[in-house]
């Protein structure tokens, strides 16, 4: 899974939007590991490819 990070390796956990390229699945989550976990789980269930985009800090 491709994970886009603007500024790796700093500070608090980042928020990611995990999006599926094969269906309408998407899930916002916190932390790169959690984004990978969600992506791996969906890919394991469906065989779809996913991407995780870093979200801007919450307001």
Positions touching Zn ion (CB under 5 A) are 20, 22-23, 25, 46, 48
Handedness of CA 9, 13, 17, 19 (dihedral sign): positive
| Cβ 54 to Zn ion shortest distance, Å | 20
Output 25 or 27, the one with its CB closest to Zn ion: 25
Output 13 or 23, the one with its CB closest to Zn ion: 23
| Cβ 36 to Zn ion shortest distance, Å | 15
- Which CA distances in Å does 2 have to 19, 42, 58? 10, 14, 22
């Amino acid at each position: 899974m491709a994970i886009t990070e603007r500024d790796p390796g700093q500070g608090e956990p980042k928020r990611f939007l995990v999006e599926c390229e094969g269906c309408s699945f998407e899930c916002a989550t916190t932390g790169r590991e959690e984004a990978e976990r969600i992506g791996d789980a969906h890919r394991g269930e469906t065989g779809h490819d996913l991407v995780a985009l870093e979200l801007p800090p919450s307001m």
